[in-house]
Amino acid sequence: MARHWRQGVIGMIPTAKQLFLPADSACPETPTVRDEMEKKFFGFIRLRNGVSKTTEIHRMADVDRAVIAVCARVGLASTSVLDVAVSSGISTCEWLESLQEAGFHPEMTATDLCMHAYLVRLFPGCDALVDREGYPLQFDFCGIALRPWSPRRYYILGNYFWTSCYRALFARIADRLGLFERLRALHGHAPAPDDPVITAKVQLVTRRLRNHKDIELLDDDIFQPTSASLLRRFDVVRAANILNLDYFSAQQLREGVAHLRERLTGPGAFLVIVRTEHDGFNHGSLFRLNENRSFSLLQRVGRGSEIEDMVLTLSAAPAVPAMPAERWCAS
């Protein structure tokens, strides 16, 4: 079985069943092998908004140092932290560790459009990983992972045709099984143990984040109205590799920033927006919320955020009611 895992890491993409279900997996012998498996798996996942779950270890180290330094410089004594669009959550775990090493003990919340997903049995030997609305994230045919999307560079090879066939077949089978009605009936909860169609609910994050006692995990879409439970809760909000011009229109980006502003506790709170380029370098901006609900620029990492002007010119807005939250201080 160990050989099976090594071969999978080297040449194949692990399936969701292999990665998340104990009955279909064996524990790889080293953390390096497990990390490589997760990297391959999450690099294969693309959410319904087109954003991938690709992530890298230590990708945000320079951003973490910059945020901690600014917090210390301005004397931010209490810190409740929100990390949005966390992908696999590796960078979230590393951020928490860096804050704790700096003497903070934050209340941290991690959100993503698809923090949880479901494993579905389509027919014997064929399964699918879907989000809570039934959008396919991965197909599993006899232990071979198939993507429901085709990279643009592969169109000429016919991949687009085959992925279109997979999705069309999935839609017909899902309709016949009543999958979408079954998912709606769950309301985000786990399926019954004897459910013949929806076999498991999984946390679609790294093993380091699953069941982490110090990090709250929530499904959330920053482009939708902010839920009452998130209003004015956080002293620091980070949006890494989500508010990008490659993904969304200028109007969508402004709406996303406005929704993140609603989550900040009030004047003096921080918003961090950063993007990692293909060369691995981070470029971001650290903003502070003013009394009139506008933002000021405190510091840049690299060239700064590509949407820095949008943030700085965002019109002031009335404050939303504060939500009660426990406070804590750096040691």
Q: In whole angstroms, what is the distance from residue 50 CA to residue 149 CA?
A: 10
126-145: burial string, b at 16+ Cβ within 10 Å, e else? bbbbbbbebebbbbbeeeeb
Report pLDDT digits (tens) over 63-107. 999 999 988 888 776 689 999 999 889 999 999 999 999 988 889
Query: Average of pLDDT values for 150-162?
Result: 59
* Residue 330 resides in a domain: no
**Statement to judge: residues 29 and 126 lie in one domain:** yes
* Of 201, 232, 250, the domain-final residue: 201
* Residue 319 resides in a domain: no
Higher pLDDT, 25 or 115: 115
Structural domain including 100 reads 61-114+205-312
* Residue 135 resides in a domain: yes
Q: What is the pLDDT of residue 250?
A: 93
Report pLDDT digits (tens) over 5-14. 343 344 478 9
**Statement to judge: residues 182 and 223 lie in one domain:** no
Q: Say what the pTM is.
A: 0.82
Query: Average of pLDDT values for 285-289?
Result: 96
Query: Average of pLDDT values for 241-255?
Result: 92
* Residue 219 resides in a domain: yes
The strand pairing partners of 127, in sequence order, are 121, 140
**Statement to judge: residues 210 and 189 lie in one domain:** no
Report pLDDT digits (tens) over 25-46. 545 556 677 778 888 898 888 8
Q: What is the pLDDT of residue 326?
A: 36
* Of 185, 201, 217, the domain-final residue: 201
**Residue 100 CB: number of other CB atoms within 10 A?**
14
**Statement to judge: residues 161 and 241 lie in one domain:** no
Alpha-carbon separation of residue 86 from 168, 216, 218, 240 (angstroms): 30, 12, 10, 8
Listed in sequence order, the residues at least 6 apart from 186 whose beta carbon sits closer than 8 Å to its beta carbon are: 118, 132, 198
**Statement to judge: residues 144 and 232 lie in one domain:** no
The answer to whether 295 touches 317, Cβ cutoff 8 Å, is no
**Statement to judge: residues 34 and 126 lie in one domain:** yes
* Residue 328 resides in a domain: no
* Residue 87 resides in a domain: yes
**Statement to judge: residues 150 and 77 lie in one domain:** no
Q: What is the pLDDT of residue 320?
A: 53
User: What phi, psi does 4 have (nearest 5°)?
Assistant: -60, -45
Among left, alpha and beta (phi > 0; psi -120 to 50; other), residue 138 is: beta
- The residue with tokens 């989500």 is 242
Q: What is the pLDDT of residue 35?
A: 79
Q: What's the chain's average pLDDT? A: 85
The strand pairing partners of 287, in sequence order, are 271, 297
**Statement to judge: residues 121 and 18 lie in one domain:** yes
Name residue 120's amino acid: V
Q: Which of 155, 154, 123, 157 is nearest to 140 (CA)?
A: 123
**Statement to judge: residues 73 and 14 lie in one domain:** no
Q: What is the pLDDT of residue 236?
A: 95
Number of domains in the chain: 2
**Statement to judge: residues 15 and 156 lie in one domain:** yes
**Statement to judge: residues 135 and 35 lie in one domain:** yes
Q: What is the pLDDT of residue 163?
A: 81
* Of 201, 222, 257, the domain-final residue: 201
The answer to whether 63 touches 240, Cβ cutoff 8 Å, is yes
Strand pairing class (80-84; 270-276): unpaired
CATH value at residue 278: 3.40.50.150
**Statement to judge: residues 146 and 229 lie in one domain:** no
Would you give the DSSP letter of residue 46? B
* Residue 325 resides in a domain: no
Query: Average of pLDDT values for 183-198?
Result: 95
The answer to whether 251 touches 133, Cβ cutoff 8 Å, is no
* Residue 31 resides in a domain: yes
Higher pLDDT, 331 or 114: 114
